Amino acid sequence: MLDLLIIGAGPAGIAAAFEAKKAGLDYVVIEKGLIANTIYNYPVGLTVFSTTDELEFAAGGLDPAREKPTREELLSYYVRFVLDNELNVLTEETVLSVVCNRSGVFIIATDKSSYAAKNVLFAHGAMDYPRKLGVPGEDRPHVFDHFRETYPWVKRRALIIGGGNSAGEAALFLAQEGVDATLAIYRDNWENTDPKQGCIKYWVKQPLEQQLGEHCLNLFFLGRVVEIREGEVELENENGESVTLQNDVVFVLIGSDADLSLLKSLGVGTENGKYGEVPVYDPDTFATAVTGVYVAGHFTNQRHIKGAIDAGRAVIAAIVSK
Ligand SMILES: Cc1cc2nc3c(=O)[nH]c(=O)nc-3n(C[C@H](O)[C@H](O)[C@H](O)COP(=O)(O)OP(=O)(O)OC[C@H]3O[C@@H](n4cnc5c(N)ncnc54)[C@H](O)[C@@H]3O)c2cc1C
């Protein structure tokens, strides 16, 4: 019988595991991918926008070459942190169901095993369901819902669809390295400067504008995507006029949603949060109304790594005081 089972080894789950170990709790982290899988999936070579104090579990561990770490520096720090602290993280194992038995014990089934725990922390992030355009041709093999790296697309024609930082960064990476790139974006998103609405951050927007000025990037003010075909994409511009772009690869980077089905199956309620549907929880303890069920990280109202780390810590404090 575990004191705590943690679902997900992102910043929230790792922070909670570190605190759980310090508190002497019997815990395990189940991670369906790799340690810090979301960071692993960032574009290769990306410099993150947070500073080290917002990313570290303990002050002074992350030592980037420049002011802000790259994906590789951050990933290395998180992996080393788990290994050096001998945190009990099981990777490539997926939690499939969580049920509470009559004694109030949680039975957690994975694709490899099953566990019994007094408490469960859902720290599974919000990357499960990449959003879809819902247009014909979106399932073609040259259409991607994430952007990994530039070099396979050099000298190709790439269309990037999206209005947030991920789309902006992908367009920038591609344009800077000689890809014939077009960013298709709603005018409102391009002109939005409110970071709370998920706009393209200014340190991405400014170099994008430079690429536009140097004619290394095309900007298309989107009305809608009509159809993705082999070799071309049919769009409507903001005036409703039909435009067909010749094209080799399409990146649909319009966000992703969390899978809240396990939480809901336990009876955890949801509400409309800052960024959409979130579980109902106590903002101090991150406890839900279901005894023993806690939430932390990207699918709550805390969208950034610092908030995820702080939440992971708060959960352990709440469990220990209980
Ligand atoms: C390109 C990019 C750049 C970003 N840059 C920054 C930045 O500079 N600063 C910042 O603060 N934030 C940044 N973010 C956001 C940041 O990545 C998230 O805030 C952070 O990862 C949230 O941590 P988390 O632990 O809540 O979730 P995640 O890091 O997403 O971790 C959740 C983990 O749970 C696992 N999991 C999911 N379901 C299951 C299951 N059923 N069973 C087992 N495991 C499961 C996943 O594989 C994943 O590893 C960025 C995001 C992206 C996409």
What single-letter DSSP state applies at residue 250? E
pLDDT 10s digits, 9-60? 999 999 999 999 999 999 999 999 999 999 999 999 999 999 999 999 999 9
pLDDT of 197 > 90? The answer is no
Q: pLDDT per residue over 90-141, tens digit each? A: 999 999 999 999 999 999 999 999 999 999 999 999 999 999 999 999 999 9
**With bands split at pLDDT 50, 70 and 90, how would you rate the model's confidence at 193?**
confident
**Mean pLDDT, residues 187-216:** 88
Q: Which atom of ligand 1 is nearest to the CA of 14?
A: 25
Could you identify the atom of ligand 1 that is nearest to the CA of residue 55?
Answer: 11
Ligand 1 pocket mutation, candidates 38, 73, 201, criterion most atoms within 8 A of CB: 38
pLDDT band at 196 (very low <50, low <70, confident <90, very high): low
Ligand 1 atom closest to the CA of 259, numbered from 1: 38
Among 298, 302, 309, say which to mutate for ligand 1: greatest number of ligand atoms within 8 Å of CB: 298
| Tokens coding 138 | 């979106």
Question: Quick one: pLDDT at residue 159?
Answer: 98
Residue 43 CA: which ligand 1 atom is closest? 1
Q: What is the pLDDT of residue 322?
A: 87
* pLDDT of residue 264 exceeding 80: yes
Q: Is 28 helix (H, G, I), strand (E, B) or coil?
A: strand
Report whether residue 12 contacts ligand 1, using a CB cutoff of 6 Å: yes
The ligand 1 atom at the shortest distance from the C-alpha of residue 312 is 25
pLDDT of residue 117: 98
Query: Can you tell me which atom of ligand 1 is nearest the CA of 49?
Result: 8
Distance 315 CA to ligand 1 centre (A): 18
Question: Ligand 1: distance of its center to the CA of 8 in Å?
Answer: 9
Q: Is the CB of 124 under 6 A from ligand 1?
A: yes
- Indicate which residue's Cα is closest to atom 2 of ligand 1: 42
Q: Which atom of ligand 1 is nearest to the CA of 37?
A: 49
**pLDDT mean over 283-306:** 96
303 Cβ below 6 A of ligand 1:
yes
Give the chain's count of helices (H) and strands (E): 8, 18
Percent pLDDT > 70 in the chain is 99
List pLDDT tens digits, range 70-102.
Answer: 999 999 999 999 999 999 999 999 999 999 999
Q: Ligand 1, atom 41: nearest CA belongs to which residue?
A: 95
CA 95/CA 33 separation, integer angstroms: 11
Q: What is the pLDDT of residue 140?
A: 98
pLDDT the model gives residue 254: 96
Q: Is the CB of 176 under 6 A from ligand 1?
A: no
| 198 band by pLDDT with thresholds 50, 70 and 90 | low
Does this model's pTM top 0.75? yes
CA–CA gap between residue 192 and residue 147 (Å, rounded): 23
Distance 205 CA to ligand 1 centre (A): 23
pLDDT of 194? 77
Among the listed ranges 193-202, 214-223, 274-283, which one has the minimum average pLDDT value? Answer: 193-202
User: Two tokens at 236?
Assistant: 């409507």
CA 287, 115, 118 angle in degrees (round to 5)?
35
- Please tell me the distance between residue 36's alpha carbon and the centre of ligand 1 in angstroms: 7
Of 110, 128, 124, the C-alpha closest to 293 is: 124
